[in-house]
């Protein structure tokens, strides 16, 4: 989406999606004269404050003339509670008759005990940077045109990118099912992936490989789609709930689950 701006703010949407329950929006926003205190999104007279923020060093580099804050990149998930109108056009013997129906908005009817995971990724990034950890990303290749690698999210850490295909953001090329074989004399304090496990033929094997490479007390983060259209076929195999991730990274495999939850279309 092209940049949208006025005299006070500049805004861009990287990606948006929707399903029966809500609308997801990922992008960034800057104040042109001052850093932003808070941002709300309004739909149909109902407002939602953005709560999930992350740094965007690429935006800071592209627009050095504007004051930058780590609260620049955002992801918002807006439940469909705004009412909307649908018009039916029925044709009878060459004449068209129309009838409009108003659908009242309502919040998603999800179980109340599902934990919200919107801030877990930000907490992982903060922990890695503040402690200058050695961090490995599985699936580091930049796939979508116009996007950037996640290396920039870890300016105070020691980042290594791993992927099945080479590119400028990937340091080691290989098969995640044999991950430990590429780092025989090396361990990591943190290992993570974003929208990768669903593309791996045997994620349980990869979880065991991650365990081999993590230092004792190390941390691992994974965000995967719970509901998302088929993509990158024929290499799209799985969908995970938050409970599915708890099984994949369970105590019998050597892990302790610290936090998990759902956020938008993702399990975390």
Tell me how far apart the alpha carbons of residues 152 and 169 are, in angstroms, rounded to a whole number: 10
- Virtual torsion, Cα 163, 167, 170, 174, nearest 10 deg: 30
Whether the model pTM is above 0.85: no
pLDDT of residue 146: 63
Query: How many CB atoms within 10 Å of residue 52?
Result: 19
Strand pairing report for 158-163 and 172-173: parallel
> Above 90 in pLDDT, residue 234?
no
Please answer whether residues 225 and 196 qualify as being in contact, where contact means their C-beta atoms are separated by less than 8 angstroms: no
Q: How far apart are CA 46 and CA 63, in angstroms?
A: 31
CB count within 10 Å of CB 236 equals 14
Give the model's pLDDT for residue 159: 97
Q: What is the pLDDT of residue 99?
A: 84
Q: How do residues 252-261 score in pLDDT, each as one tens digit?
A: 989 999 988 8
In angstroms, the CA 99 to CA 91 distance is: 12
Q: So what's the pLDDT on residue 250?
A: 93
- Please count the other Cβ atoms lying within 10 Å of the Cβ belonging to residue 121: 21
Cα–Cα dist 147/26, whole Å? 12
Tokens coding 184: 């025989």
Band of the pLDDT at 156, cuts 50, 70, 90? very high
Alpha helices per DSSP H over 43-200: 57-62, 120-130
Query: In the predicted model, what is the mean pLDDT of the chain?
Result: 85
Look at the block and give the residue holding tokens 């996640």: 150
DSSP 138: E
pLDDT band at 88 (very low <50, low <70, confident <90, very high): confident
Res. 55: pLDDT tops 70: yes
Q: Name the DSSP letter for residue 243.
A: H
pLDDT above 80 for 131 = yes
Bridge partners for 86 per DSSP: 101
What is the pLDDT at residue 261?
A: 83
Provide the pLDDT for residue 81: 65
Tell me the domains of the chain and their CATH numbers: 4-79 (no CATH), 120-267 (3.40.50.150)
Answer whether residue 83 shows pLDDT above 70: no
The SS3 of residue 204 is helix
The answer to whether residue 58 scores a pLDDT higher than 90 is: no
Contact 115, 260 (CB under 8 A): yes
Q: Per-residue pLDDT for 209 more than 90?
A: yes
pLDDT of res. 44: 63
If you average pLDDT over residues 3-19, what whole number do you get?
Answer: 83
């Amino acid at each position: 989406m092209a940049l949208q701006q006025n005299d006070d703010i500049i805004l861009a949407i990287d990606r948006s999606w929707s399903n029966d329950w809500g609308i997801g929006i990922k992008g960034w926003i800057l104040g042109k004269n001052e850093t932003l205190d808070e941002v709300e999104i309004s739909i149909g007279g109902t407002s939602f404050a953005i709560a999930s923020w992350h740094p965007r060093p690429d935006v800071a580099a592209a627009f050095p003339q504007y004051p930058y804050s780590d609260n620049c990149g955002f992801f918002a998930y807006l439940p469909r509670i705004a009412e909307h109108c649908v018009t039916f056009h029925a044709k009878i013997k060459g004449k068209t008759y129309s009838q409009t129906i108003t659908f009242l908005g309502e919040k998603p009817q999800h179980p109340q005990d599902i934990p919200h995971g919107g801030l877990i990724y930000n907490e992982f990034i903060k922990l890695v940077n503040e402690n200058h950890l050695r961090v490995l990303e599985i699936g580091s290749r930049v796939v979508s045109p116009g996007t950037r690698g996640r290396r920039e999210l870890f300016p105070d850490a020691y980042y290594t990118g791993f992927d099945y295909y080479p590119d400028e953001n990937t340091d080691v090329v290989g098969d995640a099912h044999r991950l430990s074989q590429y780092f025989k004399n090396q361990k990591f304090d943190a290992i993570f992936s974003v929208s990768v496990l669903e593309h791996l033929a045997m994620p349980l094997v990869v979880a065991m490989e991650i365990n081999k490479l993590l230092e004792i007390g190390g941390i691992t983060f994974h965000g995967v789609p719970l509901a998302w259209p088929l993509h990158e076929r024929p290499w799209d195999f799985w969908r995970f709930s938050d409970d599915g991730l708890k099984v994949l990274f369970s105590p019998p495999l050597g892990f302790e689950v610290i936090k998990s939850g759902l956020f938008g279309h993702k399990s975390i």
